[in-house]
Structure 1
Protein backbone atom coordinates (compact mmCIF):
# COMPACT_ATOMS: atom_id res chain seq x y z
CA UNK A 1 0.00 0.00 0.00
CA UNK A 2 1.45 3.35 -1.05
CA UNK A 3 0.76 5.96 1.61
CA UNK A 4 0.66 9.67 0.95
CA UNK A 5 0.16 13.03 2.62
CA UNK A 6 -3.02 14.80 1.49
CA UNK A 7 -1.28 18.18 1.64
CA UNK A 8 0.11 18.84 -1.81
CA UNK A 9 -2.01 16.07 -3.41
CA UNK A 10 -5.68 16.63 -2.55
CA UNK A 11 -7.45 19.39 -4.51
CA UNK A 12 -10.65 21.15 -3.46
CA UNK A 13 -12.75 22.98 -6.02
CA UNK A 14 -16.11 24.75 -5.86
CA UNK A 15 -18.29 24.28 -8.95
CA UNK A 16 -21.33 26.49 -9.47
CA UNK A 17 -23.08 23.87 -11.62
CA UNK A 18 -23.02 20.18 -12.48
CA UNK A 19 -25.50 19.05 -15.13
CA UNK A 20 -25.31 15.31 -14.36
CA UNK A 21 -27.90 14.00 -11.89
CA UNK A 22 -25.25 11.41 -10.91
CA UNK A 23 -23.07 14.35 -9.72
CA UNK A 24 -20.25 13.53 -12.11
CA UNK A 25 -18.89 16.84 -13.39
CA UNK A 26 -17.53 17.26 -16.88
CA UNK A 27 -14.00 18.52 -17.43
CA UNK A 28 -15.51 21.82 -18.66
CA UNK A 29 -17.50 22.17 -15.40
CA UNK A 30 -14.36 21.46 -13.37
CA UNK A 31 -12.40 24.03 -15.36
CA UNK A 32 -15.18 26.60 -14.81
CA UNK A 33 -15.02 26.02 -11.04
CA UNK A 34 -12.88 27.80 -8.48
CA UNK A 35 -9.79 26.05 -7.10
CA UNK A 36 -9.83 26.75 -3.36
CA UNK A 37 -6.91 24.50 -2.41
CA UNK A 38 -4.19 27.13 -1.87
CA UNK A 39 -6.21 29.25 0.57
CA UNK A 40 -7.46 26.49 2.90
CA UNK A 41 -5.88 26.10 6.33
CA UNK A 42 -8.47 23.79 7.94
CA UNK A 43 -11.07 21.34 6.72
CA UNK A 44 -13.73 19.70 8.87
CA UNK A 45 -16.51 17.23 8.11
CA UNK A 46 -17.06 16.28 4.47
CA UNK A 47 -18.23 12.78 5.24
CA UNK A 48 -21.46 10.87 5.67
CA UNK A 49 -22.50 9.22 8.89
CA UNK A 50 -25.15 6.64 9.67
CA UNK A 51 -27.56 7.12 12.53
CA UNK A 52 -27.82 3.58 13.90
CA UNK A 53 -31.16 2.54 15.39
CA UNK A 54 -31.13 0.55 18.65
CA UNK A 55 -33.29 -2.62 18.48
CA UNK A 56 -33.55 -4.00 22.02
CA UNK A 57 -35.64 -7.08 22.66
CA UNK A 58 -36.76 -9.09 25.67
CA UNK A 59 -34.65 -12.11 24.68
CA UNK A 60 -31.28 -10.49 25.43
CA UNK A 61 -29.57 -7.91 27.61
CA UNK A 62 -27.49 -6.95 24.56
CA UNK A 63 -28.96 -4.09 22.54
CA UNK A 64 -28.37 -4.77 18.86
CA UNK A 65 -28.60 -2.07 16.22
CA UNK A 66 -29.68 -1.76 12.62
CA UNK A 67 -28.47 0.83 10.16
CA UNK A 68 -30.65 3.93 10.01
CA UNK A 69 -30.67 7.17 8.07
CA UNK A 70 -27.54 8.58 6.52
CA UNK A 71 -26.65 12.20 7.10
CA UNK A 72 -23.77 14.49 6.30
CA UNK A 73 -21.38 15.64 8.98
CA UNK A 74 -21.26 19.36 9.79
CA UNK A 75 -18.78 20.63 7.23
CA UNK A 76 -16.59 23.70 6.96
CA UNK A 77 -13.50 25.12 5.34
CA UNK A 78 -11.16 27.60 7.01
CA UNK A 79 -9.47 30.08 4.67
CA UNK A 80 -6.75 32.65 4.96
CA UNK A 81 -8.17 36.12 4.36
CA UNK A 82 -6.70 38.19 1.53
CA UNK A 83 -5.98 41.81 2.50
CA UNK A 84 -6.75 43.17 -1.00
CA UNK A 85 -9.16 40.73 -2.67
CA UNK A 86 -12.49 39.45 -1.37
CA UNK A 87 -12.89 36.27 -3.42
CA UNK A 88 -13.84 34.02 -0.51
CA UNK A 89 -16.28 36.59 0.85
CA UNK A 90 -18.05 36.97 -2.51
CA UNK A 91 -17.60 33.56 -4.19
CA UNK A 92 -18.76 31.75 -1.04
CA UNK A 93 -21.22 34.32 0.33
CA UNK A 94 -23.98 33.10 2.66
CA UNK A 95 -26.71 31.42 0.59
CA UNK A 96 -24.45 30.46 -2.33
CA UNK A 97 -25.31 27.05 -3.76
CA UNK A 98 -23.09 24.76 -5.79
CA UNK A 99 -20.92 21.67 -5.51
CA UNK A 100 -17.79 21.09 -3.45
CA UNK A 101 -15.51 18.67 -5.28
CA UNK A 102 -12.76 17.01 -3.26
CA UNK A 103 -10.18 15.24 -5.41
CA UNK A 104 -8.68 13.15 -2.61
CA UNK A 105 -5.88 11.74 -4.79
CA UNK A 106 -5.47 14.85 -6.93
CA UNK A 107 -7.20 16.12 -10.04
CA UNK A 108 -5.78 13.27 -12.12
CA UNK A 109 -7.86 12.41 -15.21
CA UNK A 110 -9.20 8.83 -15.04
CA UNK A 111 -8.03 8.57 -11.40
CA UNK A 112 -10.31 7.59 -8.54
CA UNK A 113 -11.17 9.55 -5.42
CA UNK A 114 -13.51 12.34 -6.56
CA UNK A 115 -16.12 13.13 -3.92
CA UNK A 116 -18.88 15.60 -4.85
CA UNK A 117 -21.03 17.33 -2.24
CA UNK A 118 -24.09 19.42 -3.20
CA UNK A 119 -23.82 22.40 -0.84
CA UNK A 120 -25.25 25.68 0.32
CA UNK A 121 -23.12 28.18 2.23
CA UNK A 122 -24.62 28.50 5.72
CA UNK A 123 -22.23 31.18 6.98
CA UNK A 124 -19.13 33.09 5.97
CA UNK A 125 -17.46 34.74 8.94
CA UNK A 126 -14.20 36.52 9.56
CA UNK A 127 -12.32 35.12 12.55
CA UNK A 128 -11.04 37.91 14.77
CA UNK A 129 -8.17 37.42 17.20
CA UNK A 130 -5.54 39.44 19.03
CA UNK A 131 -3.05 36.59 18.62
CA UNK A 132 -0.12 36.82 16.24
CA UNK A 133 -1.52 34.80 13.33
CA UNK A 134 -2.78 35.22 9.79
CA UNK A 135 -6.28 36.63 9.29
CA UNK A 136 -8.82 33.87 8.69
CA UNK A 137 -12.35 33.27 7.41
CA UNK A 138 -14.53 30.29 8.34
CA UNK A 139 -17.11 29.11 5.80
CA UNK A 140 -19.72 26.65 7.04
CA UNK A 141 -21.73 24.54 4.59
CA UNK A 142 -24.88 22.46 4.69
CA UNK A 143 -24.83 19.42 2.45
CA UNK A 144 -28.16 19.51 0.69
CA UNK A 145 -28.35 16.05 -0.87
CA UNK A 146 -26.58 12.70 -0.85
CA UNK A 147 -22.96 13.16 -1.94
CA UNK A 148 -21.36 11.06 -4.69
CA UNK A 149 -18.28 9.30 -3.35
CA UNK A 150 -15.13 7.89 -4.95
CA UNK A 151 -16.01 8.74 -8.54
CA UNK A 152 -13.59 8.61 -11.44
CA UNK A 153 -12.09 11.97 -12.34
CA UNK A 154 -13.19 13.01 -15.86
CA UNK A 155 -10.57 12.88 -18.59
CA UNK A 156 -9.05 16.08 -19.95
CA UNK A 157 -10.63 17.34 -23.16
Structure 2
Protein backbone atom coordinates (compact mmCIF):
# COMPACT_ATOMS: atom_id res chain seq x y z
CA UNK A 1 0.00 0.00 0.00
CA UNK A 2 2.74 2.49 0.90
CA UNK A 3 4.21 4.48 -1.99
CA UNK A 4 7.62 6.20 -1.88
CA UNK A 5 8.58 8.94 -4.34
CA UNK A 6 11.70 10.98 -5.09
CA UNK A 7 10.96 14.56 -6.11
CA UNK A 8 13.68 16.90 -7.28
CA UNK A 9 11.52 20.00 -6.75
CA UNK A 10 8.56 21.17 -4.73
CA UNK A 11 7.50 24.75 -5.47
CA UNK A 12 5.50 25.28 -2.27
CA UNK A 13 7.55 26.97 0.49
CA UNK A 14 5.88 24.64 3.02
CA UNK A 15 7.10 21.61 1.03
CA UNK A 16 3.63 20.34 0.05
CA UNK A 17 3.89 18.83 -3.43
CA UNK A 18 1.14 19.38 -5.97
CA UNK A 19 -0.34 16.48 -7.93
CA UNK A 20 1.70 17.38 -11.07
CA UNK A 21 4.91 17.45 -8.96
CA UNK A 22 4.05 14.09 -7.41
CA UNK A 23 3.26 12.63 -10.83
CA UNK A 24 6.53 14.01 -12.25
CA UNK A 25 8.50 12.41 -9.41
CA UNK A 26 10.12 8.98 -9.55
CA UNK A 27 8.21 6.16 -7.87
CA UNK A 28 10.83 4.20 -5.90
CA UNK A 29 8.38 1.83 -4.23
CA UNK A 30 9.01 -1.42 -6.09
CA UNK A 31 12.80 -1.13 -5.93
CA UNK A 32 13.02 -0.69 -2.14
CA UNK A 33 14.37 -3.63 -0.15
CA UNK A 34 14.59 -1.91 3.27
CA UNK A 35 13.75 1.37 5.01
CA UNK A 36 15.60 2.69 8.07
CA UNK A 37 14.96 5.87 10.06
CA UNK A 38 12.51 8.46 8.68
CA UNK A 39 11.22 9.45 12.10
CA UNK A 40 11.58 12.37 14.48
CA UNK A 41 12.53 12.33 18.12
CA UNK A 42 12.64 14.99 20.80
CA UNK A 43 15.48 15.78 23.18
CA UNK A 44 13.73 16.54 26.47
CA UNK A 45 15.13 19.24 28.75
CA UNK A 46 15.40 18.42 32.45
CA UNK A 47 13.75 21.01 34.69
CA UNK A 48 14.54 20.09 38.32
CA UNK A 49 13.45 22.35 41.13
CA UNK A 50 14.42 22.59 44.79
CA UNK A 51 10.90 21.93 46.07
CA UNK A 52 10.57 18.38 44.74
CA UNK A 53 12.48 15.13 44.49
CA UNK A 54 10.76 14.47 41.18
CA UNK A 55 12.71 15.67 38.16
CA UNK A 56 10.40 17.10 35.53
CA UNK A 57 11.10 17.57 31.85
CA UNK A 58 9.84 19.77 29.04
CA UNK A 59 10.06 19.18 25.29
CA UNK A 60 13.33 20.36 23.77
CA UNK A 61 14.59 20.34 20.22
CA UNK A 62 13.45 17.89 17.60
CA UNK A 63 15.84 15.89 15.49
CA UNK A 64 15.56 13.40 12.66
CA UNK A 65 16.94 9.90 12.92
CA UNK A 66 19.66 8.79 10.51
CA UNK A 67 17.68 7.68 7.48
CA UNK A 68 18.33 5.41 4.53
CA UNK A 69 16.70 3.42 1.79
CA UNK A 70 18.13 0.13 0.55
CA UNK A 71 17.38 -0.74 -3.07
CA UNK A 72 17.60 -3.88 -5.16
CA UNK A 73 20.21 -3.62 -7.92
CA UNK A 74 18.74 -3.58 -11.42
CA UNK A 75 20.79 -5.38 -14.09
CA UNK A 76 19.24 -3.35 -16.89
CA UNK A 77 18.65 0.17 -15.60
CA UNK A 78 20.65 2.58 -13.44
CA UNK A 79 17.88 5.18 -13.18
CA UNK A 80 17.83 5.18 -9.38
CA UNK A 81 21.62 5.40 -9.12
CA UNK A 82 21.63 8.39 -11.49
CA UNK A 83 18.89 10.17 -9.51
CA UNK A 84 20.26 9.46 -6.04
CA UNK A 85 23.87 10.54 -6.35
CA UNK A 86 25.96 11.88 -3.45
CA UNK A 87 25.08 15.50 -2.58
CA UNK A 88 21.87 15.52 -4.65
CA UNK A 89 19.03 17.37 -2.96
CA UNK A 90 15.33 16.71 -3.21
CA UNK A 91 12.37 15.31 -1.33
CA UNK A 92 11.52 11.79 -0.22
CA UNK A 93 7.74 11.50 -0.08
CA UNK A 94 5.96 8.67 1.72
CA UNK A 95 2.28 8.02 1.04
CA UNK A 96 1.79 5.74 4.04
CA UNK A 97 -1.69 4.52 3.09
CA UNK A 98 -1.15 4.53 -0.66
CA UNK A 99 -2.05 7.16 -3.22
CA UNK A 100 -5.45 8.03 -1.79
CA UNK A 101 -6.27 11.69 -2.59
CA UNK A 102 -7.30 13.68 0.49
CA UNK A 103 -6.01 11.06 2.94
CA UNK A 104 -3.77 12.73 5.57
CA UNK A 105 -0.98 10.17 5.30
CA UNK A 106 1.68 12.00 3.27
CA UNK A 107 5.09 12.70 4.82
CA UNK A 108 7.58 14.90 2.94
CA UNK A 109 11.25 14.90 3.92
CA UNK A 110 13.58 17.57 2.44
CA UNK A 111 16.89 15.75 2.06
CA UNK A 112 20.47 15.76 0.84
CA UNK A 113 22.12 12.51 -0.09
CA UNK A 114 25.14 11.67 2.05
CA UNK A 115 26.23 8.46 0.36
CA UNK A 116 25.28 5.66 -2.00
CA UNK A 117 27.08 2.39 -1.35
CA UNK A 118 26.79 -1.14 -2.70
CA UNK A 119 26.03 -3.90 -0.19
CA UNK A 120 28.51 -6.68 -0.90
CA UNK A 121 27.55 -10.16 0.20
CA UNK A 122 28.47 -13.78 -0.39
CA UNK A 123 25.03 -14.92 0.77
CA UNK A 124 22.41 -16.24 -1.60
CA UNK A 125 20.43 -13.00 -1.83
CA UNK A 126 19.59 -10.22 -4.26
CA UNK A 127 22.26 -7.58 -4.86
CA UNK A 128 21.48 -4.28 -3.12
CA UNK A 129 22.77 -0.78 -2.51
CA UNK A 130 22.01 1.68 0.29
CA UNK A 131 21.43 5.42 0.01
CA UNK A 132 21.84 7.47 3.19
CA UNK A 133 19.97 10.75 3.54
CA UNK A 134 20.41 13.81 5.74
CA UNK A 135 17.08 15.43 6.53
CA UNK A 136 17.83 19.10 5.96
CA UNK A 137 14.64 20.79 7.21
CA UNK A 138 11.68 19.94 9.37
CA UNK A 139 9.62 17.35 7.49
CA UNK A 140 5.94 17.75 6.73
CA UNK A 141 3.94 14.99 8.40
CA UNK A 142 0.33 13.88 8.04
CA UNK A 143 -0.32 16.13 5.04
CA UNK A 144 -3.24 15.40 2.72
CA UNK A 145 -2.38 13.51 -0.45
CA UNK A 146 -3.01 15.95 -3.34
CA UNK A 147 -6.18 15.51 -5.34
CA UNK A 148 -5.97 13.65 -8.61
CA UNK A 149 -5.87 15.86 -11.66
CA UNK A 150 -9.36 15.87 -13.11
CA UNK A 151 -9.75 14.47 -16.61
CA UNK A 152 -10.33 17.16 -19.22
CA UNK A 153 -14.01 17.69 -19.85
CA UNK A 154 -15.13 17.41 -23.47
CA UNK A 155 -15.97 20.78 -24.93
CA UNK A 156 -19.35 21.10 -26.58
CA UNK A 157 -19.07 21.28 -30.34
CA UNK A 158 -20.63 24.31 -32.02
CA UNK A 159 -23.83 23.42 -33.82
CA UNK A 160 -24.34 24.64 -37.37
CA UNK A 161 -27.09 27.20 -37.72
CA UNK A 162 -30.50 25.71 -38.38
CA UNK A 163 -31.70 26.00 -41.97
CA UNK A 164 -35.21 26.99 -42.87
Q: Is the TM-score greater than 0.5?
A: yes
1:52 to 31, 41, 44: 44
CA distance in 2, matches of 1:39, 1:116: 19
CA distance in 2, matches of 1:135, 1:62: 52
List, as ranges, runs of 4+ consecutive aligned residues in structure 1 with deviation greater than 4 Å. Answer: none
1:66 to 58, 61, 64: 58
2:90 to 95, 98, 111: 98
* Alignment deviations for residues 103-156 of structure 1 (CA, whole Å, 9 cap, x no partner): 001111122200100001111000001111100011100000001110111111
1:136 matched to which residue of 2?
Answer: 128
| Rg larger in structure | 2
SS in 2 for 1:20: coil
**Structure 2 spans left out of the alignment, 5+ residues:** 150-164
Task: Tell me the C-alpha RMSD between the 2 structures.
Answer: 1.0
TM-score calculated relative to the size of structure 2: 0.88
**Structure 1 spans left out of the alignment, 5+ residues:** 1-8
* Alignment deviations for residues 22-68 of structure 1 (CA, whole Å, 9 cap, x no partner): 11111110011000000111111111111111122232232211100
1:77 to 69, 73, 76: 69
1:111 matched to which residue of 2?
Answer: 103
Cα deviation for residue 89 of structure 1 reads: 1.5
